[in-house]
Structure 1
């Protein structure tokens, strides 16, 4: 990384954590939001989504990992609250206060910041969005 900062330990686990965190579009979105703002509010679940969330936690994770859908449930919010935020918090990239419904930068956010800034620069330059691959027929 530029500036002499390092993001890798001897076993490579720090780099693996960063790539795993960035491997999902929802986690990338959360981290990009924290790059520009130090605090994010996370909506609370209501209705059917709340009933699902209050059910068995392992059953909920299994359901969210599958491709089945539950009508009237805000599955994106459920996935955010029960899969992506816990994973980012486990890595230390975010701190998540479930009671206050607030996400802030975690103690390891500085490790992922250079990668986010690089990707953000690429997005600003529109390099990634303008690549077109012609289809052959």
Structure 2
């Protein structure tokens, strides 16, 4: 069962631009949201024992790992960021619902507000593969 996201946003409410921009500001969040266009439910990889122990150990240590100041063998920084930063943020905005115990992510009550933007991003990416980092998308 998917846990419900924060009820902070009400259906029918005007899209909060800051929420949308913040949700789409990170590549991991964008990819997860685009993946949800094709599938109503996504499985997120579970944390390794090392990553789980790191999260539970100490917030200052976790901050050092997430900022890149410290590397710990066996800790998957990208996956920790997904579990500790990106998924909770998207759930708070109501764009997803997720259950950390089952590692399942589903579309949230506000997901449809992002759909036009996500579809445009996906169409742009598939219509114009980026081969040059300075590709001009204004055509």
With normalisation by structure 2, the TM-score equals 0.78
Q: Secondary structure at the match of 2:109?
A: coil
TM-superposed CA distance for 1:66, in Å, is: 1.5
Q: What residue in structure 1 maps to residue 104 of structure 2?
A: 102
Residue range with higher mean Cα deviation, 73-82 or 61-70: 61-70
What number of residue pairs does the alignment pair up?
123
In structure 2, do the counterparts of structure 1 residues 112 and 61 end up closer, same or farther at CA, with 3 Å as the change threshold? farther
In structure 2, do the counterparts of structure 1 residues 48 and 42 end up closer, same or farther at CA, with 3 Å as the change threshold? same
Distance in 2 between the 1:76 and 1:132 partners?
A: 23
TM-superposed CA distance for 1:133, in Å, is: 4.2
Q: What residue in structure 1 maps to residue 72 of structure 2?
A: 70
TM-superposed CA distance for 1:65, in Å, is: 4.2
Q: Secondary structure at the match of 1:45?
A: coil
Are residue 36 (structure 1) and residue 13 (structure 2) matched?
no
Q: What residue in structure 2 maps to residue 120 of structure 1?
A: 122
In structure 2, do the counterparts of structure 1 residues 61 and 95 end up closer, same or farther at CA, with 3 Å as the change threshold? farther
Q: Secondary structure at the match of 2:16?
A: helix
Q: What residue in structure 2 maps to residue 15 of structure 1?
A: 17
Give the unaligned 5+ runs of structure 1: 1-6
Q: 1:27 aligns with which of 29, 34, 39?
A: 29
Residues 99-120 of structure 1 deviation map (CA, whole Å, 9 limit, x = unaligned): 2210000000011111001111
Residue range with higher mean Cα deviation, 112-121 or 61-70: 61-70
Asked which structure has the greater CA Rg, the reply is 1
CA RMSD, Structure 1 to Structure 2 (Å): 2.3
TM-superposed CA distance for 1:60, in Å, is: 5.7
Q: What residue in structure 1 maps to residue 86 of structure 2?
A: 84
Distance in 2 between the 1:109 and 1:89 partners?
A: 10
Flag the structure with more relative contact order, 1 or 2, with Cα contacts below 8 A and sequence separation at least 6.
2
With normalisation by structure 1, the TM-score equals 0.79
Q: What residue in structure 1 maps to residue 51 of structure 2?
A: 49
